[in-house]
Structure 1
Amino acid sequence: MERHWNRRTSTLLFLVLAVLILAGITAAGIFLEEEAAVTDFSRTNLAPGGAFWFGTDWMGRDMFTRTIAGLSLSIRIGLLTAAVSAAAALALGTAAATLGRRADSVISWCIDLVMGIPHILLVMLISIACGRGFVGVVAGVSLSHWPSLARVIRGEVLQLKGAPYILVAEKLGVSKLKVACRHMLPHLFPQFLTGLILLFPHAILHEASVTFLGFGLSSEQPAIGVILSESMQYLTTGRWWLALFPGLSLVLVVVLFALLGERVRYLLDPASVHE
């Protein structure tokens, strides 16, 4: 038993547990969206207790259901935006390293340009240009988080171009597209998957930040950014639970995603097989 219970096994168990927790939060939030909007003025401003774990707000809404619904919405937006950003990074990073110097110069210039602008400012500008709301937030986060991963993939592809089997394939007349799809993409999968997962916490935090500042999701949606923004005006009256529990829950989800990415990178490392 001790022989088979190694670090790799414990890491795999952590991955399964983390995925189940995040999937459970996402599914529960979808089912609780309607309940999160229910108001009851007979139970307004109740402190956390047995009946309401996270208390209630000034409209009598259950803060626990609102927090779960908000986390679910943030996770779904994070999944969508991270997937779009990672796909763009894979395509542009591969193109920069395989389509010649001119394409490399143009894409590298775009990477430097986007990375030179603060993320939160760029997300806000794109969100405003796209009309804010769900579409604006998704567009803003998706179009601002691809450069770092694209640069990593570009470096990996440049190293792969010198591999013997790649050089042989090129001398045999295999097209650049086929070389990239058949020989390079399988080697890029570990970096792509790790980068995809590590994009989640950045996407979730920037979505919440932009929404908190009023440039993201509308106030009708039970987003964490909306909850935190609305609770600010009530903190001075002693209703600390309105911001504490939603904010703490958001931080825990972000940390869980970050740990998930680190564990995936460890599992995909060939050296971890012997640990």
Structure 2
Amino acid sequence: MSAPAVARRSLALPDRRTRIVAFLVLAVLLLIGVVVAGTVAQDAARTTHLDAVSQGPSAAHWFGTDRLGRDMLARTLVGLRLSLVVGTTAALASAVIAVVLATVSVTVGRWAETAVNWLVDFFLALPHLVLLILLAFALGGGTQAVIIAVAITHWPTLTRVLQAQARQVVASEYVASSRALGTSGFALARGHLLPHLLPHFVVGTALMFPHAILHEAALSFLGLGIDPSQPAIGILLSDSMKVLSAGMWWLAVLPGVCLLVMVKLVDSIGENLRSVIDPRSYHL
């Protein structure tokens, strides 16, 4: 490759990185806007207008109204906010489980690694959605049950990734030197392992987030998720099934499209975040 071509490639990297960072900032600001709008719209989402029952999208109600005259745009924003809160909490909890198990498996001993590997294989072998439904049902449903069920079922794949990274760190010469000097496993994990795993933890949490949101919506749709009195997206979609045959398409289509857009946005954040943290993921 000629020198000018190499120079052009070297100049292209910062430009692409800048675009990615700009996208991440805009995407995060948009999600924060959804959270703020969902918080402000809570009263409007519960207010009934019997003179505007089952109206289609219009200038007064962009997403139409439901059978009680409640504004569907407000209810959709509140539902998206609930999905973001539940998804964030569940994804973080699941990622913490993955970090702890990966750290234990490479620092405690061979028996711990065997136990963690068996546990990962066991959870990966179980039907994911069935396990999710059974856990939510056993926990009695509700927001807390959804968070626990999603957190318990989403950590195995990330644990495998973190284990692979942790093994590379443990096999390095400076860790071997630390062990020879009598450094404890806890000190190794705190001083060497966790700082190395932190970027992978952040990216893994971001990539797990869309799955947590979709599974929360699925559980709410089945009646095992968030309290039915709350306008969660899954509940909105479930309620719309009762009147969809009457031509009230906006009750299902518009909240569903918003959920898909948000999931895609969050997934794009995870992918671009990986490109920023790991330059080797660039495809030139």
Does residue 1:55 correspond to 2:70, yes or no?
no
Alignment match, 1:74: 83
Alignment match, 2:23: 14
Does residue 1:168 correspond to 2:215, yes or no?
no
Q: Do 2:76 and 2:233's aligned partners in 1 also have CA atoms closer than 8 Å?
A: yes
Please give the root-mean-square deviation of Cα atoms over the aligned residues, in Å.
1.6
Does residue 1:187 correspond to 2:196, yes or no?
yes
Partner secondary structure for residue 253 of structure 2: helix
Partner secondary structure for residue 56 of structure 2: coil
Does residue 1:38 correspond to 2:47, yes or no?
yes
Residue type matched to 1:58 in 2?
R
Q: Which runs of 5+ in 1 are unaligned?
A: none
Q: Do 2:274 and 2:281's aligned partners in 1 also have CA atoms closer than 8 Å?
A: no
Q: Do 2:105 and 2:163's aligned partners in 1 also have CA atoms closer than 8 Å?
A: yes
Does residue 1:269 correspond to 2:274, yes or no?
no
Alignment match, 2:255: 246
The number of residue pairs the alignment matches comes to 273
Residue type matched to 1:108 in 2?
N
Q: What fraction of aligned residue pairs are identical, expressed as a percent?
A: 42
Alignment match, 2:124: 115
Partner secondary structure for residue 75 of structure 1: helix
Structure 1 residues 272 and 6: CA distance shift in structure 2, 3 A: farther
Counterpart CA distance in 1 for 2:23 and 2:270 is 11
Counterpart CA distance in 2 for 1:164 and 1:23 is 43
Does residue 1:159 correspond to 2:168, yes or no?
yes
Bigger drift between 159-168 and 246-255 goes to: 159-168
Counterpart CA distance in 1 for 2:140 and 2:189 is 37
Offset at 1:118?
2.2
Alignment match, 1:104: 113
Alignment match, 2:97: 88
Bigger drift between 250-259 and 151-160 goes to: 151-160
Structure 2 residue corresponding to 1:127, chosen from 120, 132, 136: 136
Q: Do 1:120 and 1:210's aligned partners in 2 also have CA atoms closer than 8 Å?
A: no
Structure 1 residue corresponding to 2:234, chosen from 214, 225, 239: 225
Offset at 1:119?
2.1
Counterpart CA distance in 1 for 2:126 and 2:246 is 38
Matches within 5 A, 1:202-213: 202-213=211-222
Residue type matched to 1:254 in 2?
V
Residue type matched to 2:207 in 1?
L
Offset at 1:81?
0.4
Q: Which runs of 5+ in 2 are unaligned?
A: 1-7
Query: TM-score if structure 2 supplies the norm length?
Result: 0.93
Partner secondary structure for residue 6 of structure 1: helix
Counterpart CA distance in 2 for 1:117 and 1:56 is 41
Offset at 1:115?
1.4
Offset at 1:270?
3.7
